[in-house]
Structure 1
């Protein structure tokens, strides 16, 4: 009985985090209500404070979930049958949930934003994930792995933002070819 209750609790939590991530990506953090999240998850809105305390607690769970996704992707070995770092970047740009990063950015740049600290953690995880995939020999001379990673993550998020805002103006296949031409051999 207790095992079934734990499973239901974990499933409810997972449904709420997934629904919140999708809605935060679509509408933004401030414009998403408990009612929106509960309706999308198919769960009572009273479950949200029970699981997360408040909306900020739910945002924290969404960010933590996305950090785990990023870190898991960066930890997967690049071996036979796996795609290289550049292909992983292009796949990441196309993920629907990646829109969450762009949507939250608009709110995170405000100094008093409740999203700011959490978004900074997300950026740190993106940099950590990217840096884990960059071989030392691929870092261009005259730069540090940290600075190179900041530039790469900035480029990835910038390409993604442009594509989300004007998909008709951004040819991701051409961007892929351009990145392939510009990046050091170890990142292709």
Structure 2
């Protein structure tokens, strides 16, 4: 009897993990398309093919689901920091990451992030802080323009990254992402040589 229970428990756990991933994928797509507040449990259930009642079972509530979506996105972005050698390499990695469909989520949710009491506000603050740390690591050994603090230089580079991402998502026919990142690298590197 015990021998039969173990494979069944393993299969149930696997099914639970798969359901959770399907819900996260569906929520990511829908949050990116419609925004967090405009997406319902019914929308997510329809997109994922998983019952609506499974959402609170897995995540507690909609905020819990959003947190799971954000954690998944953060995990997927983790390689931006780990393998970059310098600012130019880091910017190349960011450009490649920005192209991922899931990154559209960042643009859709940014408007909600500035609203009072928004459940995504803290995420954006943490995301910006994380990206500033990555860029600071990429330029740690580099010269920066005289009279410019390292923190200010990093904040400007991060602002440019976020701005390019937003412009490209809104008007990809008008903004060439590759050329813009080449320009950003050139300005960042030549700007560091300025006196």
**2:47 corresponding residue in structure 1:** 40
Structure 1 residue ranges without an equivalent (≥5): none
Aligned 8 A contact 1:63 1:119 in 2: no
Which protein has greater RCO, CA pairs closer than 8 Å, 6+ apart?
1
Task: Pick which of 46-55 and 88-97 moved more.
Answer: 88-97
**Which of the two has higher C-alpha Rg?**
2
Residue 31 (1) aligns with residue 38 (2)? yes
**Which of the residues 13, 24, 27 maps onto 1:17?**
24
Deviations 1:129-181 (A, max 9, x none): 33344443254444444333322222111111111111121122321231232
Q: In structure 2, do the counterparts of structure 1 residues 126 and 39 end up closer, same or farther at CA, with 3 Å as the change threshold?
A: farther
Moved over 6 A (4+): none
Residue 66 (1) aligns with residue 73 (2)? yes
How many residues were matched structurally?
A: 183
Residue 157 (1) aligns with residue 162 (2)? yes
Q: In structure 2, do the counterparts of structure 1 residues 19 and 141 end up closer, same or farther at CA, with 3 Å as the change threshold?
A: farther
TM-score (norm 1): 0.85
Residue 114 (1) aligns with residue 119 (2)? yes
Q: In structure 2, do the counterparts of structure 1 residues 146 and 45 end up closer, same or farther at CA, with 3 Å as the change threshold?
A: farther
TM-score (norm 2): 0.82
Structure 2 residue ranges without an equivalent (≥5): 1-7
Aligned 8 A contact 1:130 1:153 in 2: yes
What do you get for the CA RMSD once the two structures are aligned? Answer: 2.4
Residue 75 (1) aligns with residue 82 (2)? yes
**1:169 corresponding residue in structure 2:** 174
Q: In structure 2, do the counterparts of structure 1 residues 59 and 160 end up closer, same or farther at CA, with 3 Å as the change threshold?
A: same
